[in-house]
Structure 1
Amino acid sequence: MQSMLPRASIKRNLLRVNRAGVASVRLVSTAFKIPKPYNEPNLHYEQSSPEREKLLSALSKLRNELPVSVPTVKNGVEAASKGEMQTVMPSETASVFARYSPATKEDVAAAIGAALQAKKTWQETTFHDRAAIFLRAAELVSTKYRFELMAATMLGQGKNAWQAEIDAAAELADFYRFNVGFAEEIYSRQPTLNASGQAGHTDWRPLEGFVYAVSPFNFTAIGGNLISGPALMGNVVLWKPSAGNVYASYLVHKILLEAGLPPGVIQLVNGDAELVTDVVYDHPEFAALNFTGSSDVFRELYARAADGVRTKKYRDYPRMVAETSGKNFHLIHNSADIPNSVKHTIRATFEYAGQKCSACSRIYIPESRASEFWKEMKENLSHVKVGAPEDFSSFTGPVINEAAFSKITAAIDSANKDDRLETIAGGTYDGSKGLYIEPTIYAAKTLDHEMFDQELFGPVLVANVYPDAEYDSLLTAIDKQGGGFALTGAIFATDQKVIRKTEDRLRYAAGNFYTNCKTTGAVIGQQSFGGARGSGTNDKAGSSGMLVRFTAPRTLKEEYHKLDEVLYPSNY
């Protein structure tokens, strides 16, 4: 029988278009398979290379625009910033880098409300369409916006070209591509066994409320991941980035909107972290925290959430997902390739001025190889230049802000006067123009020095030279040291029995453990990242494990047969 409905009505019934303009019911009858994720190839910026010229052009353009005015974004609509707050360039503290307007409590509340309003439509958008948005964003990151993102990261966060490349270009694109792959993996986890006449499946629902994402200054890509994982799974997100990268974070948000993300799904708010958190933690639909930053800050946020649970403030038990502090180690065995271990140690400790959560900050060296190690270290450090990010010869640059500079230099001043420490390298700094600290190494005369537990988040390494015969007892000390953190660690050795013994003995000392590789060696899709103990919840960024935390699985069962009677055979 021919339908009495107009043709246009039939089409609307079959293909509903939601308020975001994305089809929520599709007429395609084939299963959708996403493209296989891959790591974004790195560009190397050799002299006279096309990529160096493009980056120099982007840096020059951004320089001419300073200070940049970061717009206030409300539901995807940009409003001019009043510029009440500002950040300076770490490499040139007399130069204002960005100006922005802080959110008020009313702004934060409105952003949460708008996100929750967008939630129903977003969570009903097909995975195919959600995935397409983030895959499109990956292409925008790696092509159209690559050098703009890098320039923002270099001038705003003090990274050199290579550090900006592996962060703001490659890793950000990797997170978008691999998160889509991880999401597909999760959705494919369905029951493989059904009784006769029955069927069941798992509905991987998003969380019922909203996710609060708090990102750090040191990686542009981390902010992109903290918001993209939950959003990809159908959640809505309130995003509070660090003041240290407000402009780069704005660009990330802009890219997502250009890629087709509905404006209400991710709400970007800047300003006072405590003010934003107060509003979030007072909302009954606060469903999860996705956090990267200080362990002490996370403990406070964890405790506040627990108090809200105790008082029945929230509808759900908020999920706490975090990657926090580290006091990461390199362990050198007497069978190690010393030149190789030295090169890895310099990179792990001093790249980006030691401001990576995975950076090496304590090292243990065998007595029989110590003189060789220190000779090699001093020779290699003589070629390491500390300087402005725009100078391509700079291996490392400034620390992020005056607070970090004051904390690290105060520790250096104290260490320089400490007769329990021997200065191997550095111990000097200069804040007259930029926030520069020389690569610094101290050798502690005793294994119980407090520097083995103190996280400085800067270019400072403390070393212990141990008697070769005491290697086994040293493993126990390494496991107990490190300020209660357990993020990254590495063994350098060629004795295979020693390598396996060390892996076993230090099984809980690091969430990421490396053999003959620096502690900053994780690559998305190859090594997921995260630690336990005081270093976080170990949900592993760059894995399906992290994305699962932002789902609320529902199990469904359907029977096709009818019951013949109420009683069971055993009842007779």
Structure 2
Amino acid sequence: MTCPTVNPPTVTTIYPSLLPATLATFEVPAVANEPMKSYSVGSAERAGLQAALKELRAQAPLDIPCIVNGKEVSIFEKQVMPHEHEALVAKAIDGALTAKNDWEITPFNDRAAIFLILSPPSTGAILIDITVIQDHGCYHMQERKNAWQAEIDAAAELADFWRFGVKFAEELYAIQPPQNAVSTWNRIEYRPLEGFVFAVTPFNFTAIAGNLAGAPVLVGNVCVWKLAPATTYASYVVYQILKEAGLPDGVIQFIPGPPAEVVGQVLKHPDFAALHFTGSTHVFRKLWKDIGNNIENYKSYPRIVGETGGKNFHMVHKSAIVKSVVLNTVRSAFEYQGQKCSACSRAYFPDNLWPEIKKDLVENHALTGALFSQDRYATILGANKFRHAAGNFYINDKCTGAVVGGRASGTNGKAGSAAILSRFVSPRSIKETFVDLDDFIYPSNLV
């Protein structure tokens, strides 16, 4: 299955010498969440998904290359010299830094247009491919998802990440000093980081992978993208969507190679500027230690943004509705086989409700943060008590993973919000004065 053909936006980033002057202040089109399809029995989307799955299966097996400076590089040939991986990673980093020269000065409207490719009406045709790939599991059991789990991840969430990212970037750039002294103009520019961003993406969410690489790029950075093997094909399609939308060669270097070789070389590079990570707590802590050990080698202090696994909780008050508790707990703990960092992995039940909850869990579902309560005082008290217990807090709903992170579960960067973009820019204050000084002495110094 090939990536759907789209009409790319008119961009001039490939030819920086022809960049137009900014002749207007552009306003990003209104954005909205991607509607989610149910894939119910007899629906058109279910039939389309089944047909597309059949087509995709017929193409197996698929070989996915590295993409360095826009060129495909096969990594499936036998190699007797391990240093060839090292040379490829070095080439990718050098290429990204070269591409950065043009990309960081590309007008925001041109960068934004690329990420708006997943806006209606183009969304449906493109996202059906990603949903199919997720549903089939990239030929890895690790990421095999049913239609709904694939829909809420790779289809809807990826579109929302990119659309709202553009809107949030526009709002970030609009934050300027509210007041100026006489004959001066103060302003702030939001520079991309000095160097390159290293995106390390997880095995279980294509949308997260697309955003870990995409968010820094949207605000002018370049990215070396190290993806998990289980998401290789789905991530490849995401990359191709950006490529067809007009992303210049080298801005994202697509590296599905061996983890040890890639990570080790990247973290030793003096131009390493940021880690954007989603994965296990163990790996995240290891990467953080490696960055610390190399701190003297870097040109600047790297940003570290990460989301890891969580011991997510359901806290049940004695006033809670038992059926709601049971159903939400089962959903949170078992959907996508519990392979989510946001899955419920612990629950606290009051004595008066536990016998009934246990009966429903064991008999109907097999037993496996949120607060379940109908008492307003208990709800307010719980929200305050658990203020630092979780990056997201849900009331009478299952714990999930929209914009998570906190304590040992990550840096709470809030992917999908305006906060995440601020981690990948370096503000510079600019003051311009329109009058010349007549003397170096201040009036207060005169006698």
Give the TM-score normalised by the residue count of structure 1.
Answer: 0.72
Deviations 1:443-499 (A, max 9, x none): xxxxxxxxxxxxxxxxxx4xxxxxxxxxxxxxxxxxxxxxxxxxxx00000000001
Residue 38 (structure 1) aligned to one of 32, 43, 55? 32
Could you tell me whether the CA contact under 8 Å between 1:22 and 1:125 is conserved in 2? no
Which residue does the alignment assign to 1:567? 441
SS of 1:143's equivalent?
helix
The one-letter code of the counterpart of 2:190 is: W
CA shift, 1:103, in A, is: 7.7
- Residue 498 (1) aligns with residue 372 (2): no
**Contact 1:215 1:242 (C-alpha < 8 Å) held by counterparts:** yes
In 1, Cα distance between equivalents of 2:119 and 2:70: 19
In 2, are the aligned partners of 1:240 and 1:268 still within 8 Å (CA)?
A: yes
Q: Does 1:360 align with 2:344?
A: yes
Q: Give the SS at the match of 1:561.
A: coil
Note the C-alpha offset of 1:307: 1.4
Alignment of 1:365-444 (within 5 A): 365-378=349-362, 380-381=364-365, 425=366, 441=367
Summarize the Cα distance change of 1:68–1:194 in structure 2 as closer, same or farther, 3 Å threshold: same
Which residue of 425, 428, 432 corresponds with 1:558? 432
Residue in 2 that maps onto 1:385: none
Quote how far apart the aligned CAs of 1:569 are.
2.3
Residue matched to 1:151: 132
From the two aligned structures, give the one with the greater strand fraction: 1
Query: What CA distance in whole angstroms lies between the structure 1 residues aligned with 2:71 and 2:438?
Result: 61
Cα offset for 1:145?
Answer: 2.5
CA-CA distance at 1:30 after TM superposition: 2.9
Shift of 1:325: 1.5
Correspondence for 2:56 = 62
Q: Which runs of 4+ in 1 moved over 6 A?
A: none
- For 1:262, give the aligned amino acid: P
Q: What residue is the counterpart of 1:219 in the other structure?
A: 205
The one-letter amino acid of 2:201's match is S
Q: Could you report, residue by residue, the CA deviation over 1:215-238 in whole angstroms, capped at 9, with x for unpaired residues?
A: 001100001000111000100000
Q: Does 1:49 align with 2:43?
A: yes
Q: CA deviation at 1:552?
A: 1.1
Q: 1:83 to 1:335 in 2, by over 3 A?
A: farther
- Following the alignment from structure 2 to structure 1, what is the Cα–Cα distance between the partners of residues 313 and 184? 54
Aligned to 2:391: 511
Cα 1:281–1:252 shift into 2, 3 Å: same
Deviates more, 1:191-200 or 1:137-146: 137-146
1:108–1:81 Cα change, 3 Å: closer
Inter-partner Cα distance in structure 2 for 1:32 and 1:116? 28
Q: Partner of 1:368: helix, strand, or coil? A: coil
**How far apart, in 2, do the equivalents of 1:47 and 1:497 lie?**
43
CA distance in 2, matches of 1:251, 1:316: 33
| Secondary structure class of the residue paired with 2:353 | helix
**Contact kept in structure 1, 2:333 and 2:344, CA below 8 Å:** yes
Question: CA 1:22–1:136 in 2, change beyond 3 Å: closer, same or farther?
Answer: farther
Q: Post-superposition shift, 1:334?
A: 0.9
Distance 1:338 1:192, change over 3 A: same
Tell me, yes or no, if structure 1 residue 135 matches structure 2 residue 135.
no
Normalized per residue, which structure has more helix?
2
Change (3 A) 1:300 1:79: closer
Tell me: CA distance 1:84–1:352, structure 2 relative to 1, closer, same or farther (3 Å): farther
Shift of 1:63: 1.2
What is the Cα deviation at residue 547 of structure 1? 0.7
Would you say 1:202 and 2:202 are equivalent positions? no
- Paired letter, 1:365: F
Per-residue deviation, 1:564: 2.6
Pick from 236, 240, 251 the counterpart of residue 265 of structure 1. 251
**Aligned partner letter, 1:49:** S
Corresponding position of 1:107:
88
CA distance in 2, matches of 1:18, 1:217: 32
Give 3-state SS (helix, strand or coil) of 1:177's partner: helix
Contact 2:13 2:110 in 1 (8 A): no
Q: 1:84/1:217 Cα in 2 relative to 1: closer, same or farther (>3 Å)?
A: farther
Q: Which amino acid aligns with 1:178?
A: F
| Residue in structure 2 matched with residue 73 of structure 1 by the alignment | 67
1:291 to partner: Cα distance = 0.4
Q: Distance in 1 between matches of 2:362 and 2:108?
A: 53
Give the letter for the 2:132 counterpart.
Answer: A
**Equivalent residue number for residue 313 of structure 1:** 297
Q: Given the superposition, is the C-alpha separation of residues 163 and 539 from structure 1 closer, same or farther in structure 2, using an over 3 Å criterion?
A: same
Deviation at 1:58, TM superposition (A): 1.2
Using a 3 Å threshold, how does the CA distance of structure 1 residues 491 and 348 change in structure 2: closer, same or farther? Answer: same
Deviation at 1:42, TM superposition (A): 0.4
- CA radius of gyration, larger in: 1
**Alignment equivalent of 1:325, drawn from 309, 319, 330:** 309
Check conservation: 2:276, 2:304, Cα contact below 8 A: yes
- Is residue 2:151 matched to residue 1:178? no
Instruction: Report the alpha carbon displacement of residue 142 of structure 1 after superposing the two structures with TM.
Output: 2.6
C-alpha distance in 1, partners of 2:223/2:84?
Answer: 16
Change (3 A) 1:139 1:287: farther
In the alignment, structure 2 segments of 5+ residues that lack a partner are 1-10, 138-142
Q: Give the distance between the partners of 1:541 and 1:17, measured in 2 at CA.
A: 29
1:287 aligns with 2:273: yes
Return 17-26 or 133-142, whichever deviates more.
Answer: 17-26
Q: Percent identity?
A: 47
Distance 1:204 1:81 in 2: 37
Normalising by structure 2, we get a TM-score of 0.92
Quick check: 2:370–2:393 contact (8 Å CA) kept in 1?
Answer: yes
Q: Cα 1:257–1:535, aligned 2, differ >3 Å: closer, same or farther?
A: same
SS in structure 2 at match of 1:70: coil
Q: Which amino acid aligns with 1:71?
A: P
Q: For the Cα contact (< 8 Å) 2:158–2:208, is it kept in 1?
A: yes
**1:160 correspondence with 2:152:** no
Q: How many residues align?
A: 429
Shift in CA distance, 17/533, structure 1 to aligned 2, threshold 3 Å: closer
TM-superposed deviation, 1:352: 0.3
Deviations 1:408-432 (A, max 9, x none): xxxxxxxxxxxxxxxxx3xxxxxxx
